[in-house]
Structure 1
Amino acid sequence: MKARQIDTEVARLEALRQYQILDTEPEEAYDNLAQLAALICETPISLVNFIDENRQWFKAKVGLDVSEMPRSVGLSYLCQERCNVVVVPDTLADEELANNLVVTGYPYIRFYAGVPLISPKGDILGTLCVIDQVPRQLSHKQVEALVALSRLVIDQLELRRHITEVSQITEKLNFPDITERRKTAEALRESEERWQLALHGNNDGIWDWNLKTNEVFFSTRWQEMLGYKDHEVSNGWDEWIQRIHPDERDSVLQAFQDHFAKKTPFYVFSYRVQCQDGSYKWILDRGQGLWDALGDIVRMVGSYTDITDRKQVEEELKRQNLRSQLFAEITLKIRESLQIDEILQTTVTEVQKLLQADRVLIFQLWPDGSGTVVQEAVLPGWPVILGKNLLDICFKEEYLERYRRGRVSAIEDIEVADIHPCHREFLHQFAIRANLVVPILVRDSIWGLLLAHQCAAPRQWNNFETELLQQLGNQIGIALSQAQLLEKETQQSQELARSNTELEQFAYIASHDLQEPLRMVTSYLQLLERRYKNQLDANADQFITYAVDGANRMQTLINDLLNYSRVSSRGQPFIPVDCSVVLEQAIANLQIAIADSRAVVTYDTLPEVMADATQLTQVFQNLIANAIKFCRHQQPRVHIGVGSGEWGVGSGEQRSRGAGGDEGAGGDEGAGEATVTSPSSPSSPSSPSSPSSPSSPSSPTQNEYLFWVCDNGIGLESQYAERIFIIFQRLHGRDKYPGTGIGLAICKKIIERHGGRIWVESKPGQGSTFYFTIPDRALKQW
């Protein structure tokens, strides 16, 4: 320590000893200042701390069990070093302070605020500090109040020094010293002024309760806060208690008793207190008791803070949260199920709780002006009107029109409201004293009313309540409208399903009944052709040929219609199916067509799926047959591939089937032995392989297999990509490409029955790729 610092420390210690304060008994004045500091700063610990050579000695303390600590321990050195106010919001945020013994150990300081106690001569005698075990901040007014309280501590020290000096002089001279007495009086006056400054700077009301006399001192700020004048406030405890709102009075008294019994270190409670004009304000009341040597409570000092604005904000936020929760719940019910009864019941129940109304109901109107109470939430003791059909003879057509235009009716007291007497009489029978009514509109037509009733007393409806009911009325209207649309769509879907079933049944019966007469016509025509060919003239032979051809085409058409109608009505249950086996069967069924066209059919190793094996065979067979049929002036090449999950080429071997049907190496003519190769990358349409990623928006998801049949045929324009899947739709005449125009429609119907989709990507002269999907999740579902 440098010489100047040593000299300063010696002078400081000498100044401290002159006040003769160390190791003295507790004094009420200092205790009050410590308690007031804790109350103002809302901390559990406060200290009036004097620092001598080796220790910190606590003249007054709140919330601390020890009376002194070593000087080397603690945070008071910060005030000495800086000679100013020190506020540490969180000691753990400072690496140096985090290792201090009072941070790592008792009293586990996380927050510290200290003001140096500076004598009139500039010596730092100690600190007035507040401490908490959790991080926190102080407002500017709290810091100012703490500084003002530190000056009161110095005033008490000066007063003590003056009294001591006067006593010493009086003892020596044996007569009163008028000058010293004047100095003492002046010091007392300055102390009182600083005390009042602390009270006003805090902007709180201060009270001091003497439990022995049961008298309570209230500061001027406390009286101003509630609108009382001095002569309107007595110092009696009983009158004070009577100003507390009846709903909270018992709880406040219990909080006092808990503190008296030392169950709580502080008395802290928020409640409503009556103002001079009869209204109520919310206050935060804090206090600290003083006990005598026998352990009896003798005094309490505390403060009031007006928290009315804060409470109003909290209540508004609470209402907004409840309203948001209610809207979210109703919106969720609308999205999930559109169960109107459940939506309406939730509405009346939650609105009754939120508004604390005696009754909330939903009234459905009928064209004649009457209506029915379809939902109700009512408190016990009031008439229940759920399910009743009601008719208010005063409820004329003009009222309905006003509600249809969005009118809201809010009656605070029906006894004095400007309403028709017969309407007042109508409301009396249901014990209604005040009501709030909003319309429920469905597409500009009035469906009903949402009503809130107050039965016990008149009620003033505020904007929040009115807006709440209006918004809920709109939500109910939306739900009703969507429910009506859903019901209409359901009826249409049911009607469409019934119609489709009837059409399928008709197609099956009609085609089945046509089989026998057509078979007979065909047989006789063929008999005529065999017996009389070349015996009649050329025209007759041509006519017979036309008739036989037409009968054969009719037979094919009827068979195709039967197949189409049987997709849904005669389908087999889904079972695990090896697609490679299914494809082999389809190729076997097409051996003649493959051989005649010298077609080369290649395919990947295909997966197992849940499917109708017969129908899946038909899909592959129809698509391969089309690929062979619509290939002009070149050898048909067809490839069947598969992918799953994210887009990718199917794994496994790639097989090739030549015209002969035997496995071997396929030559240029397509009539060779089939060959086994690895899956190749996409190639040109003339040599189809696995296609590139489809550009169609119907790309596969991770829960389905994507199959494709790629050819090198004539292709088609993009505008016909959807038309070809419609029954009887053909792009070419029968003289160029035979067929009934039902094959792709059957494929589409089969794939949709399996829960998949089918589409085509093609360009004229560049071949086509037909895609279809089969869900792989079906393996888990069936």
Structure 2
Amino acid sequence: MIETLNNNNKDNLLVAIERFELVAKATHDVIWDWDLEKSTVWWNEGMREVFGYALQEVEPGPESWFSRIHPDDRGEVVHNINVAIDRGDTNWTYQYRFRRADGSYAHVHDRGYTIHVDGKAVRMVGSMRDLSEKMQSDEARLESEDNLQFALNAAQLGIWNMNPETGVVYFDERCRGLYGNPPEEILNYESLIQHIHFEDREKVVTAIANALNPEKRAAYDIRYRTVGASDKILRWLHCTGKAYFTPEGMPHRFSGVSRNVTDEISNRERVAWADQQAAMTVEGSGAGSFLVSLESDEIIYSPTMSRIITGKESTEMSRDLFIMHVHPEDFGKRSAAYESASKTGELRYEARFVWYDNSVHWVRVIGQYLFDSTGKAISLSGIVMDITDRIESENIIRTSEEHLRTLIEQAPVATSMFIGKDMIIELPNEAMLKIWGKGDSVIGKPLREALTELQNQPFLQILDDIFESGKPYAASGSRADLVMNGVLETFYFDFTYKPLRNSKGEIYAILDMAVDVTEQVKSRQALERSEERYRQLVNELERRVQKRTEELHLANQELVNSNSNLQQFAYAASHDMQEPLRKIQSFSSRLQSVYGESFDENGIFMLNRIQDASKRMSSMIDDLLAYSRLTTRDSSFEPVDLSQIVSAVIADLEFSIEEQKSQIRIGQLPVVWGNPSQLTQLVQNLLSNAIKYRKQDVASIIEIRAEDLAEAEIAELPRLLPEHSYIRFEVIDNGIGFDEKYLDRIFQMFQRLHGRGEFSGSGIGLALCKKVVQNHHGHITARSETEKGSTFIVYLPIPN
């Protein structure tokens, strides 16, 4: 009898091995088979495809595995798996670093399932998945059990809003990240569509059109892929939204939320693969497994599954088996389960099956759809169990407990359970242990003892209150002070406490889920401090602007007073000072005409000197008055024809021109932008100087010309109007000239290079010319050599 049982066990083992090898060929992960009795390890082609090792160069023993584990992880991993084998665990799972053929390390998720014969572990089979590119997964799976639902609710969403009329789309920062941070500041519908994967683009456009259609007003709930605008990363998004319509039925707003479900879809694939591997190991426990290819409708099943469904172990069965043997009264239950599975990816139902001998048995069917990277279901795998008797019911309870343990271990957020009012720490996952910073030594200890730093913080009291009230608790951005490496540090968390109840409704544990948001909170605090500093700077700037405004007001008032004084000086010069000067000239003339014959030669000389001095004084007062008027008078500008100005000046200077026998040559002159009277003074002073400072033995020739300026020449000149073009106006003579070292001096008030005995004048003429040019935002200079003539150059603006 014992020999027969052993033979049956060996037969079952051979069937499981064949089943395992068949599945191993169909997977892209690294599959391993460890014969514990022979101490040999078999690897599938994944060892080459994933890690780069040729199978012929891989050692046959367990050293092919543990010698490639990262030295920092090796001791803990090997100890952990040996404990699981010695303890009689049916499954083992761990994450660690595994060396590739090129020397780099991959982060892997390894899980194995132990096969026992007569209570002895004889074989362990498992799969190893490279998680290097998925280590940052923080999205919860919507299909998880109720204990993971809280983590999914904590998932942050991106907000979007579109104007259907303009096509302009508003994205918050999270939505921009989901699209790979498009560089455009203002986003629009047409450009964003281009960042959607080309295979999903049409269905997205159709869904949006249906949502915006006033007759359909369809709900917008869709999953699709985006290709990052900047990073070119493929992401899966789940978007929901709604269109809002005017009373006339026109859409005026289309808004909703988006979230990244890339990791969720990847997690589904991992769960499906785990279920496939688990199916191989459950054969020995009396359950049957199956794998259906949805493309070919081919089914791969175990003899145990055939026996559970039909009562016979058959080698040739079709997928119709699930329909043919279902009790007629349970067809509706089965159909509803498949309809739900098409949405969730999980198939679960219990139904009665009629065996070939017409006996009825309760069977539980658990399945999982496997999706490819595009979201298309490609296979359905699962197990069937005979749950007719109570023993199998107990197996269901144990499976459920193990499933909870697996869910906690795989949870994408930090998760742990606190058992009883003493809050014994149980099942903390790696993420939670990392947050606490004390390793797995805290497992099995009361929370108060394991984390003594919590004594003066609110968390322990909150947990006590939950055990009493049974009400869950959630908080965002809550501060927690934890000891890390012997140092008390401050962190911030979003966390939830959910009470768990037993079959009697009593609270026996609390489920803790936490997300570290320290960086976000610190960034927000830094932003608030920055905003406060900004407000202080704005206030200081306003104070300084107000002070500067007051200073400018005082300066303007002083300038007004100064201008008023200048105007009073001009009035005094034109009236009060001229009046006594005219009396001097008048009385000296009468004195000369009436008593001239009575004066001797010395008296006549002194009288002539009085008349000459009074004339010079009168001329100087006139020039000062003219200069002051240029300084104080507001001038209106208009287009001025230079040719007309020059003609008028030549007419006024006709006597001097004839007296000096000067020849005037006039070129083509343009229209400039300026004040006619001031420009007349400018031309008159320049032409007068050219006539006055002639050489006695050379015929006087004076040339007046003008030409346009190039942009490069304008850029080199100071104080020019940027919105105007400029011309160069020149007055050229062949007179006595001057040394250019006196160039700056000749434009100053009362500066003369020659004595009054040689040339008459007040020394104000060129200073007046400079002031006129400055009033016109122009520039004046000169070129000259002694006895070789002079060229006075004036730069003037022209009308736009």
Structure with more of its chain in strand, by fraction: 2
- TM-score normalised according to structure 1 size: 0.41
- TM-score normalised according to structure 2 size: 0.40
